Structure 1
Amino acid sequence: MNTGQHLLGPHVVGTRVVVRRVVPGEQGPTGGPALTDLLGECVAWSSGADGTCVVRPADGPDVEIALRDIVSGKPVPPRPSVRSRVTPEQAQRHAFALFPDLVTEPVGSWVLRDSATATARRAHSVLAFGPSGVEDDVARVVAHYERPVAAVLTHSPEHERLLSLGWVPESRDGSTVFQVAGTAQVARALRRGTTMSTTEPVLDEAVPGAWARAEIEGLATGYAGFADDWVGFAGIEVSPTARRQGLGRAVMAALLDWGAEQGATTAYLQVLDDNRPALALYEALGFREHHRYCYLTTTAVSSAG
C-alpha cells in the first residue's frame, strides 16, 4: 500500500480537508487493507516517524490519524454557511416578517401576498420562485390582483415563461439583490472604522418580538422584522441634510441589537442592483449576495415612469 502521497501537511491546519486513510487491523472487500474517507477541519499536524494528523469532523469527536496510514488527502473549500444553503424561496419567506399584516395565499408553491398598510411591491405581488406545480397558476394570479405583479428570480425559467406570455418589467428598475450576513459580523463592522453617530435612536417595538422601528429625531429612520432567527432591514433612510454623520449606521445598529436580542443569527436586506453606493456600504458591513430577482407585470411601463 503506497501511503503518504498527498497534499497535506502543517499548512492545512485550520482548513477543511478530506483524508483517505487505512483502517489498521481491518480488511477491505477485496482482501486488502480497509480504507475510509474522513472530511473535516485539520486541527493539528505533527511530523516525524510517528507523526499524526488530527481531523475534527462536523459531527463526532476529533480523529487522530497516523501519517503512515494516510493514502491520499487534500484541502477542500469551506462548507457554505447555513444561511447560504437556504434556497431563495426560503429566504424570501423569512422576509415576510417585514410586513406584520401580510396575508399570504398559496398557488401551488407560489405565494400570493397582500397587505392593507404596506406599499412595497413585496407586499402586493406573487412570489413565483420555481414551478408552481399547478396548471392554472398564472390565471389565478391575474384574477387575484387588480394589477398583477410577479416576483421572479432573474433569468429563471419562470422569468422566461412570463415574458413569453406577454408580461413585461413592472418598472424601469433593474434586479433587486437579496443580501445576507451574520449578525455578529455586521455588528462588529458597524462599530468599526467609519464614524457612527453617538445619538441613540428611539426604538419602537410595534409588534413585540417581531417588528420594530428606529428613529433619530426625524433625521433617520428604519425598521426591521424578525422571524426564525433571521432579522431583516428595510426603509433605512437619512434626511439629505443629515447624511455622512453616521445616523444610518446608528439606526441599523439599534435594529441589529434588537434582532440579536430576539435570537437572530442571520441579517438580510434588499437593494436595487444599480444602487452602487448602498451595495458598497453593505458589502463593507459583511453582506453578500444570496440571490437576485425582478418584478414583472401584465401592464406595460408608462413612458413617463
Structure 2
Amino acid sequence: MGQRIVVRRVLRGQTGPSGGPAFTDVLGTCLAWDADSCLVERADGEQVRIVLADVVSGKPVPPRPPVRMRVSARDAESHTAALWPTVETAPLGAWVLRHETAPVGRLRKRANSCLAMGEPGRPVPDALAEVAAFYAARDRDPLVQVETGSDVEAAVAAAGWEPLPVGASELWLASVSRVRRALPPSASAPALPVELTGTGPHAIAAAGTGCDPVAEGHAALDRDWVGLHGLAVDPSYRRRGLGAAVVSRLLDWAAEQGALTAWLHVETDNPGGQAFWEALGFAAHHGCRYYAPASSASAGPVSR
C-alpha cells in the first residue's frame, strides 16, 4: 500500500473494439488491498474500488516526478538571469543572447553566452552566425550553452562548433521546504556568526568575524524560484558546518520572500559538491555544456 500502481481491469457487460471484453486502466496510489478488492486513488483525488476478480494485470510504476522536475531545461535555465542584473539579453527565436554590460572580476560563461535551448527560428548554422556577430560587436568570444544530449547540441556540433574542455555542469533542483528540513540542526547555530546582506531580490550570506568572510554564498529570487550561487568556504574552515549554515541563512530569507523551488549549478567534475547538495535533497534536472567555434574552443574563449 502507498505504492503508485497501474491496474488493468475488465469492464463487465461492455465489448471492446475487437469484439471481445472491454478493458480499462486505473493509474494511481494503492490505498488498500484485501482478499476481495483494492482501492486506488487517482491523481485528481477520485478513489476507485476494483474487484480482484476483474483484475487482468497490475504493476508498480515509478512515482510521478514533482512539477519542478517536469519543467523544460530552457525554462529552468531562464531563472539564471536573476543572478546578474547587469546582463543585457536579446532574443534569437527561443534562444537568448546574454551579455554582461558591467562585469566585476572574471567574465562568467553563463552571463556571456547564448542560451541555445529550444528553436532559434532559423537554421542552426545561420543562428550561430548571428551569435558570433552579436558577441564580436561586444568584444566577446562567441559561446553557446546547450543542454547535454539535446538535438540542439547535435546541430551545433554538426555546424563545426566544439565543446569547451571545462565548464560542463548540471542544474539541480529541490523544494525549499525540503532542504530546510534536511539541514542539520547545527546549521542554525554555526561556529561563526552568519550575516545576511542585500537588497531587493538579491542576498549574500557570509560567515566570519572580520572583514574577509571565511564562508559565503549568494542567492537571487525570480518569482517563486531562488538560485544559489558562489557557495565557498575557506579550506582551513571546512568541516565545521559553515557551508550548511550559509545555505540555511539564504533559504530562510528566500522562504520569507515566498520561494518554493531552489536551483543551482554543480560542475560535473565536482563530486564533493554533488554529494553535499544531494544530501540536502537536490536532484539533477539536466546537464549543460558550452560550445565555441573550433578556432577558439581549444584555447578557451574570453569568458571563464
TM range (shorter): 0.7 to 0.9
Q: What is the aligned length?
A: 285
Letter of the 2:184 counterpart? R
Change (3 A) 1:32 1:168: closer
Letter in 1 for 2:202: W
2:205 to 207, 214, 217: 214
Q: CA deviation at 1:186?
A: 1.7
Residue 56 of structure 1, CA deviation: 0.7
Task: Determine whether 1:232 maps to 2:227.
Answer: yes
Out of 163, 182, 186, the residue aligned to residue 179 of structure 2 is 186
Correspondent of 1:267 among 259, 262, 271: 262
Tell me, yes or no, if the aligned pair for 1:198 and 1:250 is still in contact at 8 Å.
Answer: no
Please provide the CA RMSD for this pair. 2.6
Listed as ranges, the matches of 1:11-160 within 5 Å are: 13-23=1-11, 26-29=13-16, 34-47=22-35, 51-118=36-103, 119-135=107-123, 136-145=126-135, 146=139, 147-160=141-154
Distance 1:194 1:279 in 2: 19
Measure the CA separation in 1 of the matches of 2:150 and 2:43.
34
Aligned to 1:9: none
Residues 80, 227 of structure 2: 8 Å contact kept: yes
**Distance in 1 between the 2:75 and 2:102 partners?**
24
- Paired with 2:248 and 2:182, the residues of 1 have a C-alpha distance of 10
1:66-88 deviation per Cα after TM superposition (whole angstroms, max 9, x unaligned): 22332322211211221221111
Tell me if structure 2 keeps the 8 A contact 1:196–1:246: no
C-alpha separation between the residues in 1 aligned to 2:203 and 2:132? 33
Counterparts of 2:291 and 2:48, CA distance in 1: 53
> 8 Å contact 1:199–1:250 — kept in the other structure?
no
Contact residue 9 and residue 55 of structure 2 kept, 8 A? yes
| Structure 2 counterpart of 1:277 | 272
Q: Is the 2:171–2:287 Cα contact (8 Å) retained in structure 1?
A: yes
Match of 2:190 in 1: 197
Distance 1:32 1:199, change over 3 A: same
Output one character per residue of 1:79-136: Cα deviation in whole Å (capped at 9) or x when no partner.
Answer: 1221221111111012222223333211011111123345321111100124422143
Gaps of 5+ in 1: 1-12
| Equivalent pair of 1:20/1:36 in contact (CA under 8 Å) | yes
Residue equivalent to 2:299: 302
Relative to the length of structure 1, the TM-score reads 0.83
Aligned with 2:79: secondary structure? Answer: helix
Task: Please give the secondary structure, in 2, of the residue aligned with 1:278.
Answer: helix
CA distance in 2, matches of 1:195, 1:223: 18
Once residues 155 and 58 of structure 1 are traced to their aligned partners in structure 2, the CA distance between those partners, rounded to angstroms, is 31
Q: 1:34 Cα deviation (Å)? A: 4.8
Q: Secondary structure at the match of 1:206?
A: coil
Q: What is the alpha-carbon distance in structure 2 between the residues aligned to residue 295 and residue 165 of structure 1?
A: 14
**Identical-pair percentage:** 44
Query: What TM-score do you get using the length of structure 2 for normalisation?
Result: 0.83
CA contact (8 A) 1:190 1:196 kept: no
